[in-house]
Amino acid sequence: MKALVYVAAFAPEAGESAIDLSEKFPGSTPGPTPADPVALPDGGHDLYIEQTKFRKQFAGDLPLKEAKRMAASQRPVAEAAPKEPAGEPAWETIRRSLCTATHKNIPPKALKWMAERAKSKVTVVVKGGSHVAMVSHPDIVAVLTEKAAKAASN
């Protein structure tokens, strides 16, 4: 692998969790939006965003119909995942670019800070973009991905 493109995503350092990064800066709002947890046989839980709150929390820049479809078919996150410490980050050794947005899952200040810390070669901010910027703004993400691939091959 020669290049990484993070799109509206966490870029943790070794030992950091998504919760650590969300709490480092104000603005993350997933707390008030979960649906009832779904119990798993191993004692863990799957977490979902309540469907009526999904668009505002996760996909605010998508048309209502598309956001409703995503809400109905969302994949869960394991309850333990946001607390899980990250391993060694690939961004320390691989050329990286970040596409950030102004969404509610990851505070914009956290995204900016992670891009700076990771020494992103190119950082694109999608104004008004949601956590699914790759769906709502595929052209921007595609251009960034192409630039990252070309730069890595030079």
- CATH number, domain at 93? 3.40.50.1820
Domain that holds residue 63: 3-153
Mean pLDDT of 7-31: 87
Q: What local confidence, expressed as pLDDT, does residue 52 receive? A: 95
Percentage with pLDDT > 70 across the chain: 97
Name the band, by pLDDT with cuts 50, 70 and 90, for residue 34.
confident
Tell whether the model's pLDDT for residue 29 goes beyond 80.
Answer: no
Number of domains comprising the chain: 1
- pLDDT: is 29 or 134 the higher one? 134
- Please determine, for residue 68, whether its predicted confidence score (pLDDT) is greater than 90: yes
Q: What is the pLDDT of residues 17-26, one digit of tens each?
A: 998 988 888 8
pLDDT for residue 36: 92
Answer for the pair 141, 7: CB distance below 8 angstroms, yes or no.
yes
Distance CA 82, CA 108 (A): 18
pLDDT of residue 112 exceeding 80, the answer is yes
Q: Output the CA angle 84-6-72, nearest 5 degrees.
A: 70
Q: Which residue has the higher pLDDT, 71 or 100?
A: 71
**48-72 average pLDDT score:** 95
Q: Above 90 in pLDDT, residue 45?
A: yes
Mean pLDDT, rounded, for 136-140: 96
Phi-psi region of 27 (alpha: psi -120 to 50; beta: other; left: phi over 0): left
